[in-house]
Chains A and B, each alone.
Chain A
Amino acid sequence: MACLHDHSCEEHDCSSDWSLYKHIDLSKVSALNEAVSGSVKSVFRAWEQRLNSSEGHLESNEGDPELIVFIPFTSDVKIKSISVVGGADGTSPAKMRAFINRDGIDFSDAQNMQPVQEWDLVENLQGVLEYQTRYSRFQSVGNITLHFPENFGGETCQIHYIGLKGEATQLKRDVVATIVYEVMPNPSDHKTRAETGGGLSQVE
């Protein structure tokens, strides 16, 4: 389901709605089949910058237009709608499938699994189209995986911008935050009494 953004943006500030990009954990964003490793991080920007892809865009490998984008969040979010700006000349993605709260999905998993929701996209070079989600299913999203299986006939699949609209709750999914554990013993962490100047040990 696509909704046309049919009001001019002077009346209210659209960018505040599309502010979920602030809650994305950018260091852990990853993509599969990207031509340039790490380029996926450049597609998450503010709404006003959605057409400004001077920092690069996400492109798939030559001859293979499939892409998977894994987006983890810093806290649980509710996603209302998604906007995707693709490339010109048939390089825009034609379909989008979303999976929620699943780690490590690769292409064979994505093709076999039933997505939480699936959309047919159209070429959206101006970024005015948004695709609504079935909101009830997108209530507590810790991470989302977007799979773009096809494009409009180009050699590669290009994505210039991905926008997410919704609300962020302040909850975090797994709270294993500040536990420090040792995988290997580090002698400098374990000072014995002798080293710190303790007395002679007595053997009775």
Chain B
Amino acid sequence: MRNGDYFPNRFQAQADVVNLICGAKTQSNPENTVGVLTMAGEGVRVLVTPTSDLGKILACMHGLEIGSEMNLAAGIQVAQLALKHRQNKKQQQRIIVFAGGPVKYDKKVLEMIGRKLKKNSVALDVVNFGEEDKGKAEKLEALVAAVNNNDSSHVVHVPPGPSALSDVLISTPIFTGDGQGGSSFAAAGGVSGFEFGVDPNLDPELALALRVSMEEERAKQEAAAKKAAEEAAKQESGEHSASKDVTISENANTGMTEPENKTKDQMDDENALLRQALAMSMGDSSSAVATRDTEMSEAATDDHDLQLGENLCLLAKFHFLTCVLFSFVFSLSSLTIRSDVVHYPLCLYLCSILLMLLVIFLQYCCFP
């Protein structure tokens, strides 16, 4: 699960998708509840019982450790038990399994488990990623085929690749499966229609800077991934343990609709990209593009466009600062207007003018 074939590593990719799914399910219907449990490690452990509180679910994903092998059968059974004791009996039961490690049970056992789930009308979604060995895909297909009742259960195989696990899954029936809510989530979701989530019309320099830094980062990543793949091929016995997260979501009585929140993901994407751009520019020793103003004038970068972008960003920041100062001083002066002390606001006004001149002077110092 530490393997880098899914970016950044399998465990992290899985955690991201879990967060995404929990958000989607809780958003699509306010009466949905989601719970999470892990399959590997000492034994199956329920991290959070089914709840509609997304904060609790996201919090429980912290501090998880990788270790040992995943126990698919036990995990599914405990999940079934947790679902059975749900508070609202009208909710429909569904288990979503993230199978990152190898499956040590044989097909017959899995089919029996599947039939038992079908009998108790529990739907099952399986995400097959990570280790691919000895018929794991067939076993999982057989399991889902045994559970499937009227197309309510799905299995998705995600091979390692450049796109993120969450992007691949967002278009699958696992997100969109229950109809209305899922598809609207996907449409409004992480991709806001613009690359990098920034509108080029509003802020062209920022969009340009982000795009350029993203491309360079991607080129570096591919080179690194190639190297990692070669090394991973050498050590075979290495990884096993997956922590399986079972999310248990349910429908409201007759309505069959399910909805909740997800703005966090969009913000995360933006922040991640900005951080990457910054890290790249910081880490590149030859460029020495620093975010501090005093060093800007001495910077000599290979990438002229990047520097231009940075400069313009800082200029924008300066403008913003001056506007803020100006408005602050003005408001201060207006507050102290009193009829008997006439000259008071006047001198505040003069002070503000002086301040503005000072700042402009500073600007000219830095940008000759």
Residues of A at the B interface (CB closer than 8 Å) are 27-28, 32-33, 37, 61, 64, 66, 103-104, 106-108, 183-184
- Interface residue? B2 (CB, 8 A): no
- Interface residue? B118 (CB, 8 A): yes
| Interface hits, B91-139 → A, CB 8 Å | 115, 118-121
Partner of A64, one of B30, B89, B119, B150: B119
- Interface residue? B201 (CB, 8 A): no
| Interface hits, B24-47 → A, CB 8 Å | 30-31
- Interface residue? B184 (CB, 8 A): no
Which partner residue on chain B sits nearest A34 by CB separation?
B121
Q: Is the CB of B120 within 8 A of A64?
A: no
Which partner residue on chain B sits nearest A102 by CB separation?
B89
A66–B30 alpha-carbon span in the complex (Å): 34
Give per-residue flags for B250-261: 1 if the beta carbon is below 8 A from chain A beta carbons, else 0: 000110000000
Give per-residue flags for B147-180: 1 if the beta carbon is below 8 A from chain A beta carbons, else 0: 0011000000000000000000000000000000
A104–B120 alpha-carbon span in the complex (Å): 10
Q: Is the CB of A183 within 8 A of B30?
A: yes
Q: Is the CB of B84 within 8 A of A183?
A: no
Residues of A within 8 A of B118 (CB): 33, 61
Partner of A37, one of B84, B115, B150, B253: B150
Mostly, the A contact residues are loop
Residues of A within 8 A of B31 (CB): 183
A-B contact pairs, 10 of them (CB 8 A): A32-B119, A33-B118, A33-B119, A33-B120, A37-B121, A61-B119, A64-B115, A106-B120, A107-B119, A108-B84
Q: Is the CB of B149 within 8 A of A32?
A: no
Q: Is the CB of B119 within 8 A of A66?
A: yes
Residues of A within 8 A of B30 (CB): 183-184
A137–B119 alpha-carbon span in the complex (Å): 29
Residues of B within 8 A of A32 (CB): 119-121
A32–B115 alpha-carbon span in the complex (Å): 12
Residues of B within 8 A of A66 (CB): 119
Which partner residue on chain A sits nearest B253 by CB separation?
A28
The 10 closest A-B pairs by CB, nearest first: A104-B89, A183-B30, A33-B119, A103-B89, A184-B30, A106-B120, A37-B150, A32-B121, A27-B254, A32-B120
Residues of A within 8 A of B119 (CB): 32-33, 61, 64, 66, 107
Which partner residue on chain A sits nearest B93 by CB separation?
A106
A33–B253 alpha-carbon span in the complex (Å): 19
Which partner residue on chain A sits nearest B116 by CB separation?
A107
A32–B121 alpha-carbon span in the complex (Å): 7
